[in-house]
Amino acid sequence: MQILKTSHLDILAITLIEEQCFPIHNRLSLFDIRDLYDRTLLWKGWSSSVATKHDKVIAFYFLQIKCNICRIYDIAVDPECRNKGIASKLLENIIFAGKKSNINIFSLEVNEYNVQAIKLYEKFGFKQIKIIPNYYSDSNGIKMRKICPLV
Ligand SMILES: CC(C)(COP(=O)(O)OP(=O)(O)OC[C@H]1O[C@@H](n2cnc3c(N)ncnc32)[C@H](O)[C@@H]1OP(=O)(O)O)[C@@H](O)C(=O)NCCC(=O)NCCS
């Protein structure tokens, strides 16, 4: 598996993964993903990577760094490639790169019913810090945060 900076050629594959991961009322459209990708080109602090296997995109993330906070905006793994440590590798990558750039707070929002993701984040030391009522169209969100000591 390789982790590469997202290219415009990956946008469609990312959209297909997004479609398989989230219900229609809670997912990003092709338009939204293009917009996020454009932010990674045009706006300071935004970045995105894909995980690929045999040149096929199998996972991705988007994030934004502002001051000393890294907000993970979206992360998802192709359903056929789950439970093989791919999201863990992406998170390790995010945290390692963040620490190198003096980022010591990592934050994200997750659907209250998304047990897999909550377990993943807790494994990486994220704590649930507050409930965000109606953050999603049909459910609450949970704000999670990880604070790392600065090195
Ligand atoms: C959540 C998600 C990213 C995990 O990806 P993954 O590559 O399968 O995760 P990993 O193999 O790295 O698993 C790491 C940890 O996540 C948790 N986890 C993953 N799948 C799980 C499951 N089915 N049930 C419970 N915990 C699970 C476990 O803590 C696991 O650690 P372990 O293997 O030591 O038990 C993936 O399920 C996904 O893409 N879901 C849809 C998109 C999504 O919900 N994104 C998060 C939005 S906030």
Q: pLDDT per residue over 83-126, tens digit each?
A: 999 999 999 999 988 888 889 999 999 999 999 999 999 999 99
145 close to 107: Cβ distance less than 8 angstroms: yes
151 C-alpha vs ligand 1 centroid, how far in Å?
28
The pLDDT, as a whole number, for residue 111 is: 95
114 close to 136: Cβ distance less than 8 angstroms: no
Atom of ligand 1 nearest to the CA of 59: 39
**pLDDT(133) > 80:** yes
| DSSP three-state, residue 21 | helix
Closest CA to 30 of 46, 42, 13, 47: 13
Q: Domain residue spans in the chain? A: 2-108
93 close to 105: Cβ distance less than 8 angstroms: no
The pLDDT, as a whole number, for residue 151 is: 62
Chain segment 6-49, per-residue pLDDT in tens: 999 999 999 999 999 998 888 999 999 999 999 999 999 999 99
Topology of the domain covering 2-108: Aminopeptidase (3.40.630)
* Higher-scoring residue by pLDDT: 29, 149: 29
Chain segment 55-91, per-residue pLDDT in tens: 999 999 999 999 889 999 999 999 999 999 999 999 9
Pocket, ligand 1, Cβ cutoff 6 A: 21, 75-77, 82-88, 108, 110, 114-117, 119-120, 123
One-letter amino acid at 136 equals Y
- Say how far apart CA 111 and CA 135 lie, in whole Å: 8
